[in-house]
Amino acid sequence: MQSLGGRPNIFPYLLLLPALIITLVIVAWPLVETVRLSFTDAALKPTENFVGFANYEKIFSKKFPEVIGRTFYWMAISVSLKMIVGTMGAMLLNSRVPGRDFFRVLVMPPWIVPIAIGVFIWAWMYNGQFGMISGVAQYLHIIAGPYEFLGDRTGAFYSTIVTDIWIGTPMVTIYLLAAMQSISPDLHEAAWVDGAGRMYRFRRITLPLILPAIATMGLLSAIWTFNSFDIIWILTKGGPRDATTTMIIDTYKTAISRNKYGEGAARAVMIVIFLSSFAGFYFFMLKQFAKRSLAK
Amino acid sequence: MKLAKILLGSAVVLGSLAGASYAEDQRIHIILCGDDTWGGEVNAAHMAAWEASNPGFKTDIEYVPWGQCQDKATTLAASGNPPAIAYMGSRTLKQLAQNELIMSHDLTEEELASYAAPILGTVTADGKIWGLPRAFSTKALYYNKDLFEAAGLDPNSPPKTWDELYSAAAAIKEKTDADGIGLAAASFDNTMHQFMNYVYTNGGEVINADGDIVFNSPNNVETMEFYGKLASVSQPGPVAYDRGKLVPLFNEAKIGMYISGPWGRSQTGDAVNWGVAPLPVGPNGTPGTLLITDSYAVFKGSGVEEAALSLAKFMTSTDNQMEFEIAAGLTPLRPDHPEVAKLREADPTWGAFLDAIATGGPEPFVTDYVGLQDVINEAIQSVVLGEASAADAVAQAAEDLEEYK
């Protein structure tokens, strides 16, 4: 970069320097350190040795592939439902209904309430003996006796997803609502004058214009869901029989509960690789989609 | 001239600070779990007494919540900044010792003899004592006398054998609105603890004195089968329950029986008409219980190791420990102490917890306790959910446990 006088102008670089230093310290250094640890046998003992790819070989020789599959399945269901419910919620909150402002506030509590408190409430609701869901179901004669939602593998798996959707949907709703509000009403009015129906307007005007927002939110939601720890940990601790053990839970158990820092770091690196690949694929698809839209 | 004055002044200030720090007492950093409501005053008094006879040292207690205290001490030690003493579950001591993070304790013959032998088993590895027991618990069977009566059982004759236990649970389930027994099978540490009570009352073991995994035994297969069988007379979905979640069920008379430690007496209070009895005995066992101790571990690298060893020994010496146990409501570590007889006399329910000490067994002492716990819990859950036979589950667990011995 040169100044108008032709001399190199280092001032812009100086302005960037603090941000660069912060990024290096907060993001790059821990990442590099994690990668380094993943090639060592770091554990409780004060010394550590270089072990090459041994940690990676070890994790793939056990249940890790199963954990990876479960993580993606858990994430796919949760994110899909969050996006669908969130989009529907945003549409409702964007329409002219009485008390709209009140409903817009009402949608926020799952996001505002501290996650741990919200999850503890869900844990209580899932209880078969004292919980609300089982109680109501018994009252309505849907089930004959108490049902423990966290008491079997399938029940626990889907219960954690439901809680994750409850916590994650408000953010999707509010984000997409903001995107919808940025669309000029003139477009809808013009289409309406031309006789376009509600669904047609949504498909041909709203959806294409909020697509970038959906893509961004989908990606962010996928990353958050992939890394969702507290919901599963509080509800099931990864059980029963590993039915809710996702990659982040598996990493925590290895690195923190069992103090196998090297093996835990290898798992963390796998998470970074998966999320980076996922994000790359997602953006590639988005680009392709945008090209096709322009070609039409 | 002005600069010279500033430099001189700074040197004087720094010098006085250095002198002051040199004269300061050496800090003994102690991490304890929870808060000072359980024996805190006794702790403080004993530490003050030790400081008085050991000038130059100052104790500094840091209370850390139960969920984080052991992780904090371990992480500090692993990062090279250990506390001098930390309150640790004795099950972690072998792992800490193997990683050269803690000191062993030298006890005299007299000091060793003051403990019941099974208690020393909870802190001994490779012939060395790695922690001084500080808190101790045994388990017994709590039962609801009113539910026993409603089910046509004698409320003054609690089950003594596994057969009687199952029959009583089945009768309660069949003849009352309650379930027979509270069963813990969640992915949590006390699921394995609950199971170990059955292992030790049926002559089983996980790891023997030579350090060999002996989990795959006929006794343990029988125990696993019985645990699975109990699920048919327990509360629905035992996999969703750890021991703590059974307490409200017992207090609401939704289960007829459950196993817990002496703290269960105050947790239930007069919510129901309860009794407590020694654990029922399996077909191939003798009376027993799981012995769990938490200990004072002295960490290497604090710079005050010798003083910390001295302080830990002082705090857990016979009379001081007894005073602490009375204040904290813990099972006495030394059943022969004169105060124990008074405890029994004042509260006969202590009997169920004290009598089983002699034949109790320790938590399995391994190098990766969490790994062991996960393996055994996996076996328990597979049987309770009916997804594996007891024999297969025990065989698989025994194979997996080889990694952690």
Give the number of domains in chain B: 2
Q: State chain A's mean pLDDT as an integer.
A: 90
| Percent of chain B residues past pLDDT 90, beyond the cut | 75
- Any idea how long chain A is? 296
Please, are residues B58 and B51 in contact by the beta-carbon 8 Å criterion? Answer: yes
Beta carbons of A239 and B381 less than 8 Å apart? yes
Amino acid A198: pLDDT: 85
Amino acid A284: pLDDT: 82
Residue A287 has pLDDT above 90, yes or no: no
- Within 8 A of A259 by CB-CB distance, chain B residues are 74, 78, 95
| Cα Dmax for chain B | 100
Beta carbons of B381 and A149 less than 8 Å apart? no
Selected for mutation to probe chain A from B88, B91, B374, B378 (highest A CB count within 10 Å) is B374
Amino acid A1: pLDDT: 54
**Whether residue B70 is found in the same domain as residue B117:** yes
Domain ranges in chain A? 13-295
Residue contacts between A and B (CB atoms, under 8 Å) = 88
Amino acid A5: pLDDT: 59
pLDDT confidence of A148, banded at 50, 70, 90? very high
3-state per-residue secondary structure call for chain A: CECCCCCECCHHHHHHHHHHHHHHHHHHHHHHHHHHHCCECCCCCCCCCECCCHHHHHHHHCCHHHHHHHHHHHHHHHHHHHHHHHHHHHHHHHCCCCCHHHHHHHCCHHHHCCHHHHHHHHHHHHCCCCCHHHHHHHHCCCCCCCCCCCCCHHHHHHHHHHHHHHHHHHHHHHHHHHHHHCCCHHHHHHHHHCCCCHHHHHHHHHHHHHHHHHHHHHHHHHHHHHCCCHHHHHHCCCCCCCCCCCHHHHHHHHHHHCCCHHHHHHHHHHHHHHHHHHHHHHHHHHHHHHHHHHHC
3-class SS of residue B345: helix
Q: Assess whether the previous peptide bond of B158 is cis (omega < 30° from 0).
A: no
Beta carbons of A130 and B248 less than 8 Å apart? yes
- Within 8 A of B79 by CB-CB distance, chain A residues are none
Tokens standing for A234?
């509080």
**Whether residue B263 is found in the same domain as residue B307:** no
Amino acid B180: pLDDT: 98
Chain A contact for B367 (CB, 8 A cutoff) = no
Q: Please indicate, yes or no, if residue B1 is contained in any of the structural domains.
A: no
Selected for mutation to probe chain B from A153, A233, A259 (highest B CB count within 10 Å) is A259
Beta carbons of A240 and B239 less than 8 Å apart? yes
State which CATH number among 1.10.10.10, 1.10.3720.10, 3.30.530.20, 3.40.950.10 fits the domain covering A13-295. 1.10.3720.10
3-class SS of residue B127: coil
Tokens standing for A115?
């996650």
Amino acid B385: pLDDT: 96
Amino acid A294: pLDDT: 61
Measured CA to CA in angstroms, residue A133 lies from A121, A137, B96, B229 at distances of 12, 6, 44, 28
**Which parts of chain B register pLDDT below 50?**
1, 3, 7-8, 12-22
Selected for mutation to probe chain A from B187, B247, B385, B396 (highest A CB count within 10 Å) is B187
Burial of B59 (0-12, 13-18, 19+ CB in 10 A): buried
How far is the alpha carbon of A61 from chain B, nearest alpha carbon, in Å? 14
Determine the Cα–Cα distance for residues A219 and A283; give it in Å rounded to an integer: 9
Selected for mutation to probe chain B from A62, A241, A250 (highest B CB count within 10 Å) is A241
**Whether residue B266 is found in the same domain as residue B178:** yes
Amino acid B17: pLDDT: 46
Chain A contact for B101 (CB, 8 A cutoff) = yes
- Within 8 A of A257 by CB-CB distance, chain B residues are 370
Comparing CA positions, the residue from B206, B352, B201, B228 lying closest to residue B283 is: B201
Predicted TM-score of the model (pTM) = 0.85
Q: Please indicate, yes or no, if residue B345 is contained in any of the structural domains.
A: yes
Nearest residue in chain A measured CA to CA from B368: A258
One-letter amino acid at B272 equals V
Range of the domain at B247: 140-288+366-404
**Whether residue B335 is found in the same domain as residue B217:** no
Residue A95 has pLDDT above 90, yes or no: no
**Interval A200-254: pLDDT, tens:** 988 899 998 998 889 889 988 998 999 999 999 999 999 899 999 999 999 999 9
The DSSP symbol for B157 reads S
**Whether residue B239 is found in the same domain as residue B338:** no
- Within 8 A of A256 by CB-CB distance, chain B residues are 71
Q: Please indicate, yes or no, if residue B77 is contained in any of the structural domains.
A: yes
Amino acid B4: pLDDT: 52
Nearest residue in chain A measured CA to CA from B385: A152
Q: Please indicate, yes or no, if residue B4 is contained in any of the structural domains.
A: no
Determine the Cα–Cα distance for residues B22 and B40; give it in Å rounded to an integer: 30
B395: domain CATH number is 3.40.190.10
Question: In sequence order, which residues have a C-beta less than 8 Å from that of residue B56 and are 6 or more positions away?
Answer: B25, B26
Report the DSSP beta bridge partners of residue B13: none
Residue A100 has pLDDT above 90, yes or no: no
**Whether residue B121 is found in the same domain as residue B87:** yes
Determine the Cα–Cα distance for residues A258 and A264; give it in Å rounded to an integer: 9
- Within 8 A of B188 by CB-CB distance, chain A residues are 237
How far is the alpha carbon of A55 from chain B, nearest alpha carbon, in Å? 15
The DSSP symbol for B348 reads T
Beta carbons of B381 and A130 less than 8 Å apart? no
Nearest residue in chain A measured CA to CA from B253: A129
Residue A285 has pLDDT above 80, yes or no: no
Of B74, B186, B385, the CB nearest to A259: B74
**Whether residue B126 is found in the same domain as residue B181:** no
How far is the alpha carbon of B310 from chain A, nearest alpha carbon, in Å? 25
Tokens standing for B14?
């720094």
Q: H or E element: which one contains B255? A: strand B255-260
**Whether residue B102 is found in the same domain as residue B74:** yes
pLDDT confidence of A2, banded at 50, 70, 90? low
**Whether residue B83 is found in the same domain as residue B170:** no
In this structure, the dihedral spanned by the alpha carbons of residues B78, B80, B82 and B84, taken in order and rounded to 10 degrees, is: 130
**Whether residue B280 is found in the same domain as residue B297:** no
Please, are residues B254 and B235 in contact by the beta-carbon 8 Å criterion? Answer: yes
Beta carbons of A150 and B240 less than 8 Å apart? yes
Beta carbons of A147 and B236 less than 8 Å apart? yes
Q: Please indicate, yes or no, if residue B335 is contained in any of the structural domains.
A: yes
**Whether residue B343 is found in the same domain as residue B329:** yes
Q: Please indicate, yes or no, if residue B11 is contained in any of the structural domains.
A: no
How far is the alpha carbon of B79 from chain A, nearest alpha carbon, in Å? 8
3-class SS of residue B257: strand
Nearest residue in chain B measured CA to CA from A258: B370
**Whether residue B158 is found in the same domain as residue B267:** yes
Q: Please indicate, yes or no, if residue B209 is contained in any of the structural domains.
A: yes
Which 134-193 residues of chain B touch chain A by CB within 8 A? 185-188
Amino acid B1: pLDDT: 44
